[in-house]
Amino acid sequence: MNFDELLSAYRNIWNNRLLETGEFSAMEILEEAIKRELLDENSHPRIRKTKEEKFYFAMKRVKESNLTTIQKYDLMALHIEVLEEIKKN
Protein backbone atom coordinates (compact mmCIF):
# COMPACT_ATOMS: atom_id res chain seq x y z
CA MET A 1 0.00 0.00 0.00
CA ASN A 2 1.54 3.31 -1.10
CA PHE A 3 0.38 5.83 1.50
CA ASP A 4 1.61 8.89 -0.40
CA GLU A 5 -0.54 7.84 -3.36
CA LEU A 6 -3.49 7.02 -1.09
CA LEU A 7 -3.23 10.38 0.66
CA SER A 8 -3.32 12.09 -2.72
CA ALA A 9 -6.37 10.01 -3.71
CA TYR A 10 -8.09 10.87 -0.40
CA ARG A 11 -7.43 14.55 -1.02
CA ASN A 12 -9.02 14.25 -4.48
CA ILE A 13 -12.22 12.80 -3.01
CA TRP A 14 -12.44 15.11 0.00
CA ASN A 15 -11.19 18.28 -1.66
CA ASN A 16 -12.20 20.71 1.11
CA ARG A 17 -10.58 18.70 3.89
CA LEU A 18 -7.65 20.29 5.71
CA LEU A 19 -4.96 17.74 6.38
CA GLU A 20 -2.06 18.52 8.68
CA THR A 21 1.31 17.72 7.20
CA GLY A 22 4.60 18.70 8.78
CA GLU A 23 6.62 15.97 10.43
CA PHE A 24 3.97 13.24 10.11
CA SER A 25 4.09 10.43 7.56
CA ALA A 26 1.43 10.07 4.87
CA MET A 27 0.14 6.98 6.71
CA GLU A 28 -0.28 8.90 9.99
CA ILE A 29 -1.99 11.83 8.26
CA LEU A 30 -4.36 9.56 6.37
CA GLU A 31 -5.27 7.42 9.39
CA GLU A 32 -5.92 10.52 11.51
CA ALA A 33 -8.06 12.08 8.76
CA ILE A 34 -10.14 8.90 8.43
CA LYS A 35 -10.52 8.68 12.20
CA ARG A 36 -11.75 12.30 12.39
CA GLU A 37 -14.08 11.59 9.48
CA LEU A 38 -15.61 8.47 11.07
CA LEU A 39 -16.02 10.20 14.43
CA ASP A 40 -17.60 13.13 12.55
CA GLU A 41 -15.29 15.57 14.32
CA ASN A 42 -15.62 18.06 11.46
CA SER A 43 -19.31 18.65 12.30
CA HIS A 44 -21.00 20.49 15.11
CA PRO A 45 -21.67 18.09 18.04
CA ARG A 46 -25.47 18.46 17.75
CA ILE A 47 -25.57 17.28 14.14
CA ARG A 48 -22.97 14.51 14.29
CA LYS A 49 -23.83 11.15 12.79
CA THR A 50 -22.82 7.77 14.15
CA LYS A 51 -19.52 6.23 13.07
CA GLU A 52 -21.49 3.54 11.22
CA GLU A 53 -23.39 6.17 9.22
CA LYS A 54 -20.17 8.02 8.44
CA PHE A 55 -18.54 4.74 7.40
CA TYR A 56 -21.41 4.02 5.00
CA PHE A 57 -21.14 7.48 3.41
CA ALA A 58 -17.35 7.18 3.14
CA MET A 59 -17.64 3.78 1.43
CA LYS A 60 -20.23 5.14 -0.97
CA ARG A 61 -18.09 8.16 -1.78
CA VAL A 62 -15.00 6.02 -2.43
CA LYS A 63 -17.00 3.53 -4.53
CA GLU A 64 -18.49 6.29 -6.69
CA SER A 65 -15.19 8.13 -7.15
CA ASN A 66 -13.04 8.02 -10.29
CA LEU A 67 -10.10 6.42 -8.46
CA THR A 68 -8.52 3.22 -9.70
CA THR A 69 -9.90 -0.06 -8.41
CA ILE A 70 -6.75 -0.62 -6.35
CA GLN A 71 -6.96 2.86 -4.78
CA LYS A 72 -10.63 2.27 -3.94
CA TYR A 73 -9.85 -1.09 -2.38
CA ASP A 74 -6.95 0.29 -0.35
CA LEU A 75 -8.97 3.28 0.91
CA MET A 76 -11.88 1.04 1.84
CA ALA A 77 -9.55 -1.38 3.63
CA LEU A 78 -7.97 1.48 5.55
CA HIS A 79 -11.40 2.79 6.57
CA ILE A 80 -12.25 -0.69 7.88
CA GLU A 81 -9.00 -0.86 9.87
CA VAL A 82 -9.56 2.55 11.42
CA LEU A 83 -13.20 1.76 12.27
CA GLU A 84 -12.16 -1.49 13.95
CA GLU A 85 -9.52 0.38 15.96
CA ILE A 86 -12.09 2.98 17.03
CA LYS A 87 -14.50 0.26 18.14
CA LYS A 88 -11.75 -1.41 20.22
CA ASN A 89 -11.11 1.78 22.18
Provide the pLDDT for residue 72.
Answer: 96
Whole-angstrom distance, CA of residue 71 vs CA of residue 3: 10
Whole-angstrom distance, CA of residue 22 vs CA of residue 42: 20
Q: How do residues 29-53 score in pLDDT, each as one tens digit?
A: 999 999 999 999 888 889 999 999 9
Collapsing DSSP to helix, strand or coil, 23 comes out as: coil
Provide the pLDDT for residue 21.
Answer: 72
Whole-angstrom distance, CA of residue 24 vs CA of residue 41: 20
Which helix (H) or strand (E) is 32 found in, with range?
A: helix 26-38
Q: Please count the other Cβ atoms lying within 10 Å of the Cβ belonging to residue 67.
A: 19
Provide the pLDDT for residue 15.
Answer: 74
pLDDT average, residue stretch 22-26: 86
